[in-house]
Structure 1
Amino acid sequence: MNNLFLLFCTLYTTISFAQTAYQELPDPKPKNEELWKQVKTGTYVSFASPDNRYAKSNVPAVSPVLTNWQTKAWKGEKVHTQILIWTTKPLKNTSLFVSDLKGSKQNKIPAGKIKASFLRYVMVDGLNEKGVGCGIPSNLEPSLEADVIDNAKASPIAANTTQPVWLSISIPADAPAGVYKGAVRVIEGKNEILGNLDYSVEVINRTLPAPKQWQYHLDLWQNPDAIARMHQVEKWSDDHLKVMKPYMESLANAGQKVITTTLIHDPWNSQTYDVYSSMIKWTRKKNGSWSYDYTIFDKWVSYMMALGIDRVIECYSMIPWNLKFYYYDEALGKETVLVAEPGTPEYNAHWQPMLADFAKHLKKKGWFNKTTIAMDERPMVAMQKAIAVIKGADKDFKISLAGNYHPEIEKDLFDYCVASNQKIDEKTMQARKKAGSITTFYTCCAEGFPNTFTFSPLAESAWLAWHAANKGYDGYLRWAFNSWPQNPLQDSRFGKWSSGDTYFIYPQNRSSIRFERLIEGIEDFEKIRILKEEFKRKDQPKKLQQLDTILAGFEIDALKTQPAGPMLTQAQQVLNNL
C-alpha cells in the first residue's frame, strides 16, 4: 500500500467516524446459527445482484464470491450494482473507498461521480390474503428488508451479519467513449483492507440528455407537511424551504414534471400520517362574498419552478374523499366546514366563484396553461358534474384525473392517468398524443405487482417504465414521494397500506433502492425513445423491430409467470447493444 493511500484512508476514516449510523430495529427473524458456524472465520466481500434484498441475519447465497463486475452505460447515465459484506467477527468502523475510473489516453471518471453507500434495513409487512397491498391485517408477520441508501460514511458491522452496499456511478455527459476501470476498497479502521473489488464500465458513444430534457412524465406527489414535521420547522418558513431543497432537487434530478398543490385542506381524508394542508386560504366575508389568499400557493409553485419542476401544476381536489370543504367564516369568527356533493347547489356556489378568481390569478402569474384542476379515483358521474363547474368558470381550464378509464370523459381530461389494470384503445392513445394531452398509468396498494413497496422485487421499480414504453404511455404516477409514516427510517409500515406505499425517499434526503431503480427505468425509457427516433430517421426497420420485440413482453400479466429481474436484464442487454 503506498503512502498516499495510507494518508487518504486516515483522513477519510477520521472524518467519517463522526457520522454514526442510526439504529435499526431488531431483526424479528432469528439468525441461522448453524449456517454461520459453517462459514470460515473472517470477513467476506463480493459483488451481488442489484435485484435482490439480502437478509441481514443470514449468510448470503453468493457462490462463488465475485470480485469483478462489468457493465455498459451511455454518457450521462447513472448505473449501479450491489456489494455485500458479511462477517463472522464484529467490525467497529468500516468505511468504503472508491477510486477514479481510468480509461485510455488519461481519460477518467472522477471518484466524485461514484458513491458507495451502506444500505439500511427497515421493518416491512407484505400483502394481504388476496395478494394485494390494501387492507393489511395488523398481525401480518414483519421482517427486515434493506431499502435505505444511507448518508453515513462509516459503520460498525455486528458479527454474523450481512451488510449490503449500493455502488452508483454517474457517467459525465462529456466522458469519451471507452472502457474505464476502477476499484472499491472496504476498509476497517484506518488502513486494514477487508476487500478489494475491481470493476469496469464501458461507456458507449451515445448520450442521455439531462433529466430536465427527459420526456418521461414522472408524477410523484410531494408532501411539504411531512418534511416540516420531520425537521421540526414551521410550515412555509424560510427554514422549511431550506430543508425541503435537497429532497426536491433529488426529485428534479429524477425528471419530475409535476408540482403537487392543494386547493383545500385534507383532500385525501387523512390517509397520510401528515395531513395535507391547504395552500389557499378561503375566507367567507360577513357580507357573503369570498376572498382567496394565494400566498402559500404562489410561494410553493415559484419555489418548485426555480428547481426545474415546471411542466404541470396539479391542484387537488374538487372532489375530496370526505366531501368536506374547510374555510374561515368571518361572521362566525372561526374555521368551519361545508359538506357538499358535486352537482348540488351548495357545491356549485362554493366552487364557481373560487375557480373564476383562481383562473384570473393564474393568468396574471403566467401559470394558467400549466395548471390542471386535479382529482383522483373519483366516480365518473361525480367527475362529469365537477367538469361542468370547472368549464363554467373558465372553458380553457385543464383537468386531470388519476383513476379508472372512462371513455365518456376522456376528451375533457388533459392529463389522464389510469390504473395499471385499465386499457385504453390504440386510436384514443394516438389521438391524445396528437392533441398534446398527457396519458400515464399508476400503481397503488391495489396491485400486488408490479409495485414499489419496501418488500417488492427491486427490478419491478425499473420494469414500470418499460411497461410505459410498451403501452405508449407518457409516464407514471405514484403517491407519494415523501408521505412518511411516523418513523420511516426504522419502520416502513403504515396502517392498512403495504409498507413503503407512501414514499420513495427517506429523511435527511436518503435515497432508496426503489427510487434508484425507478430512475434506472426512466433512463431506459429515454434510451428507447431516442433509439426509435434515430431508427425511424435512418430507415432501419430491423432495429425498430428488435426494440418492439423486447418491449412486447412488458405486460402486467407477464409477471405472473416470470420475475421482473431476468426479464429486465435481458432487455437492457439488447438495448445497450443496438
Structure 2
Amino acid sequence: MQLECGLAEESYKYIAGKLVDFTRKKFDLVSGRRDWVAFQLMLKGDEEFTVSTGDNPTFSVKGPLLNIRVHVEVEGIPQSCIRLYPIGTVEDDDGIQKADMLLKNEVVTVAKDAVQPIWVEIDIPEDVQPGNHQGTISIFAHRMFEDEKKVAAMFFNVMVKDVVLPRPSEYRFHLDLWQHLSNIARKHEVRLWSDEHFRVLEEYVKSLAQLGQKAITIIASEIPWSGQRSYRVKDYPSDMFEYSMVKVEKDLNGNFIYDFSAVKRYIELCFKYGIDKEIEVFGLCNIWEDDEFGYGKVATDYPDAIRVRYYDRADSCYKYMRDAKDISAYIKALESFFIENGWIELVRIIADEPSDMELYEKRLEAIKNAAPQFKFKAAINHAEFIKRFKRQISDYVPMLPCVCQEWDSLKEMAGKDIERLLWYVCCWPLYPNTFISSPLLESRLIGLLTAYMNFDGFLRWNYTVWPEKPRERISFRYPEWRAGDTNFVYPGMDGAPILTIRYKNLKRGIEDYELIQMLKGVHPHSDEILSKVWSRIFKFKDIAELAPEAGKKPEELYSLDYEDYMAVKEYLLDEISQYKD
C-alpha cells in the first residue's frame, strides 16, 4: 500500500474533500512547564487499512487489511504523558464531514483514499528539564501474522521554557459553561439523580475542571428553558428538557418539605474537582414561556413562570405550585439552604436573555422580597439592559454585539458597579464562534479577546445540549442554530464525555489568558509587551468593528494564522521567564 503521511498544527480542521498537505515532516513546538503540546498526524492510503494508536493486536472483520501502528516518544518525557486519539468527523450543516471528536477507539478503519487525522498530545510535567526535547513519530506496518516493519518516521522538537503554568483550578479566567444534567442522564440511559447518574456526572465534571471551569449549574424548577422549544422542531425530534434538582412534597398538614440532597451532592462533587467559585441557579428568574404550545405560567399571580412540582401525600398525586406565596416560600427555602451550608456568597440567580425591562424589574423585586441575600446575574442580549440594571445585577454577561455597543459603559462600570464581567456568544454572532464550521483558532481567540477587553471570563450555554443522536447528527435547527452550537463534547459509550478539538483549542486560549495575567503580575513593562501581542493577533482598531453590523470579515478582525498564536505564546513565556522570580 502507498501510504501518505504528514503533520499539521493543533488548530487544523480536516474537511472531507479538501486537499490535504502531506509535505510537512517536522514540527517545532513551545511550552512551559506543567503545560501541554499537541499536533496532528495525517494519514492516507490507496487501499483500505486500519490505524492503531496502541499496542494491542489488531485484526479486522473486513479481512487481511494492512494495519498501521503509530508510536510517539519524546526525550525526557515519560511515555505516560503521551496520548494519541484518532479524530472523528461529524456532518456539518452543509452535509460535509468535518473533524471534531477525539475518539477513544484504539483502532479505526480508514477507507481507501480517505484521510485519517490522529491527535497527538503530550503533557509537559512541572519537573521537566527546560530546554529542547526531541520527539519521534514512528509508523509501523504489518498484515495479519507478518512481522511489523517500520515504514516511516517524522520528528518534532519541544522547546520547554522555564515557566510553570497554574493548575486549572488556579486559573483566574472565569469559565462558565452551562451543564445540562438531565440531557446527560438521557444520553447515558441512567435515572435522574441516581448513583449511576452521579457516576456519569463525575466524568463530565472532571472534563470541565480540566478547562478551569468556575461555575456550577443548579436547576431549581422544572424546564426553565421550556426544552429550548425543541418540540417545535419536527424533522429531528430531540428532548432538551431540563428538570429540577429539588424534590418537593406537601405533608398531610399542608406544609411543604424540600429535599435539596441532589443539589448538595452535585455542588460537593464540583467542589471536589476545584469548581468552586460560583453556584449559578437557573429556574427562578426569566423562565422561557411559549403560550402557543402550553408552556406558560402555572402560578398566575406570580410575575414569572416558575414551575415547582411537588408530591401531595394527601392523595398521592404530583401537582404544581399555583400560588405566589408558595413560590416565594420555596425561594426563601432555597436561600436558607445556601446560607446554612455557607455558600450564599457564591450563589447567583441567573436570568437568560431577559427582553422586557419592566417585567424583569418585577421579577427581581419578587425574588429580593422573598430572599434578600441572593445576588443576580444576567446573560444580556439587549444592550439597553446594561445601564438600566447596573446597581441591581452583580454579574454582567453581555453578548459580544452588546459589548461592542456599550463598550464605554462597561469599562466605566467594571470593578465599580459590577462584581464580575463576562461575555458570551451563542447562535449569534456568526464569528468569532465555536461552531463546527468555525475556524478552530476562533475557539482559541476567546481567551485572548477576554484578556484584551480586560473581562473576567467567558460564558457559553452549550457544553452538553445535544440533539437526539449527537454522534450521528449534530446539526439541529439550522440555520437558527449551527452545528456545534449545542456542544463542546459528545456522550461516550464508556459513561464519559468524548472531547473535541474545539474543546482543546478553547483550553489553549484560556491558557493564553493565564499567561497574560502572569505577565501583568511580574513584568514592569507589561503594557508595552501586550501592545505587541494585540497587534500580532487583532486587526481591528475599535472594538465596535467586531459587531456584525460593521460588516467586517473574520480575516479583517483577527489573525487566522496559527504561527501568530504560537509566536505570541513563546513571546509571553520568554518575557515572564525574565521576571518570574
Which TM class, normalised by the smaller chain length?
A: 0.7 to 0.9
- Is 2:505 the partner of 1:517? yes
Question: Hey, what does 1:386 align to over in structure 2?
Answer: 363
In the alignment, which residue of structure 1 is the partner of 2:32?
74
Number of corresponding residues: 507
Aligned-pair distance for 1:351? Answer: 3.3
Structure 1 equivalent of residue 49 of structure 2:
91
Unaligned 5+ segments in structure 1 are: 1-40, 103-107, 126-140, 340-345
Q: Following superposition of structure 1 onto structure 2, how do residues 26-425 of structure 1 map, counting pairs within 5 Å?
A: 42-56=2-16, 58=17, 60-62=19-21, 65-95=23-53, 96-102=69-75, 108-125=76-93, 141-189=94-142, 191-271=148-228, 273-284=239-250, 289-318=255-284, 319-322=286-289, 323=305, 325-328=307-310, 330=312, 333-337=316-320, 347=324, 349-379=325-355, 380-404=357-381, 405=383, 406=385, 407-423=387-403, 424-425=406-407
Rounded to whole Å, the distance in 2 between the matches of 1:192 and 1:434 is 66
**Distance 1:397-1:310 versus aligned 2 partners, 3 A rule:** same
Alignment of 1:495-534 (within 5 A): 495-496=477-478, 497-508=481-492, 509-534=497-522
Distance 2:526 2:344 in 1: 41
Distance change (3 Å), C-alpha of 1:222 and 1:186: farther
TM-fit CA distance, 1:362: 0.8
For 2:44, give the aligned amino acid: W
What secondary structure, in the 3-state scheme, does the structure 1 residue paired with 2:226 have? coil
**Cα distance 1:192–1:413, how it changes in 2: closer, same or farther (>3 A)?**
farther
CA change 1:195–1:428 in 2 (3 A) is same
Structure 2 SS opposite 1:235: coil
Q: Decide whether the 8 Å contact of 2:396 with 2:418 is kept in 1.
A: no
Cα gap change, 1:199/1:325 in structure 2, threshold over 3 Å: closer, same or farther? same
Corresponding position: 1:429 with 2:411: yes
Q: Which secondary structure state, in structure 1, belongs to the residue aligned with residue 227 of structure 2?
A: coil
CA distance in 1, matches of 2:116, 2:427: 29
The verdict on how the C-alpha distance between 1:527 and 1:89 changes in structure 2, with shifts beyond 3 A counting, is: same
Moved more, 251-260 or 505-514: 505-514
CA contact (8 A) 2:520 2:526 kept: no
Which SS does the other structure have where 1:450 is aligned?
coil
Match for residue 136 of structure 1?
none
Q: Residue 461 in 1 paired to residue 443 in 2?
A: yes
User: Does the 8 A contact of 2:90 with 2:471 survive in 1?
Assistant: yes
Q: Distance in 1 between matches of 2:124 and 2:204?
A: 22
Taking the aligned partners of 2:568 and 2:109, their CA distance within structure 1 comes to: 40
Compared CA separation, residues 196 and 411, structure 1 to 2 (3 A): farther
SS of match in other structure, 2:137? strand
Q: Distance in 2 between matches of 1:249 and 1:389?
A: 36
Q: Deviation string for 1:364-421 (max 9, x for gaps)? A: 1111111111110012222211211222223331111112342111222222111110
CA RMSD of aligned residues (A): 2.4
Mark the CA change 1:124 to 1:179 in structure 2 (over 3 Å): closer, same or farther. same
SS in 2 for 1:204: strand
SS at match of 1:495: coil
Following TM superposition, by how much is the alpha carbon of 1:533 offset from its aligned partner in structure 2, in angstroms? 2.1
Shift of 1:475: 0.9
Q: Sequence identity of aligned pairs in percent? A: 25
**Residues 33 and 165 in structure 2, CA contact (< 8 A), matched pair in contact too:** yes
- AA aligned opposite 1:574: V
Matched, 1:452 2:434: yes
- Offset of 1:540 from its aligned partner? 5.8
Q: Is residue 2:454 matched to residue 1:472?
A: yes
Q: CA deviation at 1:494?
A: 1.9
* Alpha-carbon distance between aligned partners in 2 of 1:257 and 1:437, rounded to the nearest angstrom: 15
Deviation at 1:229, TM superposition (A): 1.9
Match of 1:570 in 2: 564
Task: Assess if the C-alpha contact under 8 Å between 2:51 and 2:70 holds in 1.
Answer: no
CA distance in 2, matches of 1:310, 1:540: 30
Taking structure 1 as reference, are residues 442 and 541 closer, same or farther at Cα in structure 2, changes over 3 Å only? closer
CA contact (8 A) 1:217 1:257 kept: yes
Checking the alignment, whether the CA contact within 8 Å between 1:77 and 1:523 is kept in structure 2 is no
Equivalent position SS for 2:200 = helix
- C-alpha separation between the residues in 2 aligned to 1:208 and 1:394? 40
C-alpha distance in 2, partners of 1:165/1:391?
53
Q: In the alignment, residue 52 of structure 1 is paired with which amino acid?
A: Y
Aligned-residue offset at 1:354: 1.7
Q: Which has the higher contact order (CA 8 A, sep 6+)?
A: 1
What displacement does 1:457 show?
1.3
Question: Over residues 222-273 of structure 1, what are the superposed CA-to-partner deviations in whole Å (9 max), with x where a residue is unaligned?
Answer: 1222222222222222222222222210110100001111010111111263
AA matched with 2:136: A
Equivalent-residue separation in structure 1 for 2:428 and 2:176 (angstroms) = 18
Distance 2:159 2:343 in 1: 43
